[in-house]
Amino acid sequence: MSPAEKTGALKSAAGFLRSYLLIVLIAVLVVLTAIVEPKFLSGQNMINIMRQFGPLIMVALGMTFVIIGGFIDLSVAGIINLVAVVTISLIQVLGQVPALIVGMALGAACGALNSVVILSSGALTQAEALFMTFGMSTVYSAFALLYSHGSTMHFWDIDKSKSVFEAIGAGKVGPVSVSFLIFLFFLALLWIFQANTTEGRSIRLTGGNKTAAELAGIRIRRSIVVIYTICGFMAGVGAIVLFSRITTAAPVIGANFETNAILSVVVGGTTLKGGKGSVLRTVTGVLLIILMSNCLNLLGVSSYLQVVAKGAILVFAIWLDNRKQA
């Protein structure tokens, strides 16, 4: 190999590490854990990983569109809290299928309300949207507390059939869990929307440069409504998958989901500046974050230190993203 070829190979390797450093580091952690702790590769642990995958990926897929659109959404935790307690309570009143529909519709309505609040206030920057949605999360969580009277709701308190939710939480079709099939369905749907529709491309252009997008004839206000409605709807789906898995709904069930969703999206390669990203890359980010948590649990790392690690990774991911943009 000539000196020029060696230099080119080194530059290519350096560019790869710069672009995928976080993925490489987490992959190294996974390999080390598999060596140190044989339980990591056990079938039961793989099933556990896939169960954890379901709720977070739903929220992260919706968050992907908001971040690609150049915004942020901190209200997903509050939406999860509200959808969870309302949906589980309606099983007794309406039956399971109507309750399921109401829950998803409530999530979409909360997301649409976020967009109305943002647009009516003229908050068209990411920083403004961050604080607006943080306030909306507080509102949704407060409604969840008022609705449930601060109490936890359980499946075993419901007399009517819960077979649909039980299937979502623990059911399987052959070796594949129902929640994983639900994930595949929404992933395919959102990928087609993002890659093959005019509105999906408009969202990317809106996130890249709102002024240029508007001058090009793109209705950015409609794009904002669409991204927040999708995010709210997917947060509602995530809430249903979550309480179906743990068979319990509490008005604080969505705590930290907003942080983990943003972390997953950024680690997956979607830039926080907007305009670039993919739901397919978000899947990689979610899987890496769940694998990291699983590895740290098996290695006996304190849950408090795990929170520190996730925060540090989020800061590092944003720093790395800014360096790449520069």
Domain-embedded: residue 158: yes
Neighbour-count burial for 276-298, b at 16+ CB within 10 Å, e otherwise: bbbbebbbbbbbbbbbbbbbbbb
pTM (predicted TM-score) = 0.88
Domain-embedded: residue 15: no
Q: Which two tokens stand for residue 261?
A: 């969703």
Express each pLDDT in 13-59 by its tens digit: 656 666 666 677 767 777 887 887 778 777 777 777 777 778 899 99
Domain-embedded: residue 152: yes
Report which listed range, 2-11, 26-35, 44-53, 260-269, is most confident.
260-269
Domain-embedded: residue 52: yes
Q: Which two tokens stand for residue 276?
A: 């670039």
User: pLDDT at position 4, please?
Assistant: 61
Domain-embedded: residue 131: yes
When divided into structural domains, the chain yields a total of: 1
The residue to which tokens 């409504």 are assigned: 225
Domain-embedded: residue 150: yes
Band of residue 75 on the pLDDT scale cut at 50, 70, 90: very high
